[in-house]
Amino acid sequence: MSVDLATVRRIAHLSRIALRDDEAPHLQQELNAILAFVEELNAIDVEGVEPMTSVIPMRLPLRADVVTDHAGADVVTHNAPGAEDHFFTVPKVVE
Residue 59 CA to residue 52 CA, distance in Å, equals 12
Please state the pTM of the whole predicted model: 0.52
Cα 4 from chain centre: 25
Task: Quick: pLDDT tens for 23-44.
Answer: 999 999 999 999 999 999 999 9
CA distance 8 to 26: 10
Q: Tell me which long-range contacts 68-73 makes (C-beta under 8 A, separation of at least 24).
A: none
The closest alpha carbon to 22, from 3, 41, 5, 45, belongs to 5
Indicate the helix (H) or strand (E) that contains 14. Answer: helix 5-14
Ranges of each domain in the chain: 5-42
Q: Would residue 80 be called left, alpha or beta, if left means φ above 0 and alpha means ψ between -120 and 50 degrees?
A: beta
CA distance 2 to 31: 8
Q: Which pLDDT score is estimated for 5?
A: 94
Q: What is the pLDDT of residues 69-93, one digit of tens each?
A: 777 888 888 888 988 888 899 988 8
